[in-house]
Amino acid sequence: MNMSINTRTHHRAATQKSAHSKPQPKDPRDQLMDWAHEGSLEGIDRISEFIERENDPDLIGFAKCAYDEASYNYYIPKNETEEKDFILSKMIYDRELRIDELQIDLMSADLRSQKMEIDKNIHAKVMKSNPKNKLWEYRFSPDLHTMASDEPEEIRDDIDYELAWIDEAKKSIKTKRYHFIPADVLESVHLDCEEYEPGLEPCPNGCGNY
């Protein structure tokens, strides 16, 4: 009887010891911060995967903060050469956005040019049908027609220059990890302190704005 009791007691103690020695699951927040502090592309990818599969809004919010920190630690310049390359990457991104704007301007300019050409043709017919109304001649402006006709080509030239500039700029980037920087990282960078909007984090340039 005593042996049976001792055996059960020993088994219970061993079970408790085994339970205490079993590694406890790591808090997701700790794991996220570990990845954030790695300063590696793999850490960024792991956090992104966590965000995609997580359902808890609080953890998702925490993970997004970890993602921002991981991106900062990975992409932050480590020396003068990297700093120049990073600034150039930001300039390239800004010019790519400018090209998007120019494309929209071009569509508007093409439409204005077409409408002005139609206006010119109809105006000519009106004047031919009403030769006595001399003052009507001034209801159409040849100068405005010329400006509208030239505008699309001028915008196309602007786009071509921007594309050529970007092509040369990309060739100048020596830092491999700056060959592609996610848009959300570049959008959070403010090279001009005067343009930095107040927020939770200080201006990256250290100008003291929040």
* Angstrom distance (rounded) from CA 210 to CA 192: 14
- 155 neighbors 99 (Cβ within 8 angstroms): no
Q: How many CA atoms lie within 13 A of 125 on its CB side?
A: 6
- 143 neighbors 40 (Cβ within 8 angstroms): no
Mean per-residue pLDDT of the chain = 84
* Angstrom distance (rounded) from CA 48 to CA 189: 20
* Angstrom distance (rounded) from CA 89 to CA 91: 5
* Angstrom distance (rounded) from CA 97 to CA 115: 28
- 148 neighbors 116 (Cβ within 8 angstroms): yes
The two three-digit tokens of residue 181, written as one number:
């920087």
% of the chain residues with pLDDT over 90: 73
- 70 neighbors 137 (Cβ within 8 angstroms): no
Interval 107-159: pLDDT, tens? 999 999 999 999 999 999 999 999 999 999 999 999 999 999 999 999 999 99
- Quote the Cα angle for 69-70-76, to 5°: 85
With bands split at pLDDT 50, 70 and 90, how would you rate the model's confidence at 10? very low
* Angstrom distance (rounded) from CA 113 to CA 148: 5
**Residue spans per domain, the chain:** 26-75, 80-179
Query: What is the SS3 assignment for 55?
Result: coil
- Going 205 to 207 to 209 to 210, the CA torsion angle's sign is positive
Amino acid at 55: N
Interval 45-88: pLDDT, tens? 999 999 999 999 999 999 999 999 999 999 999 999 999 999 99
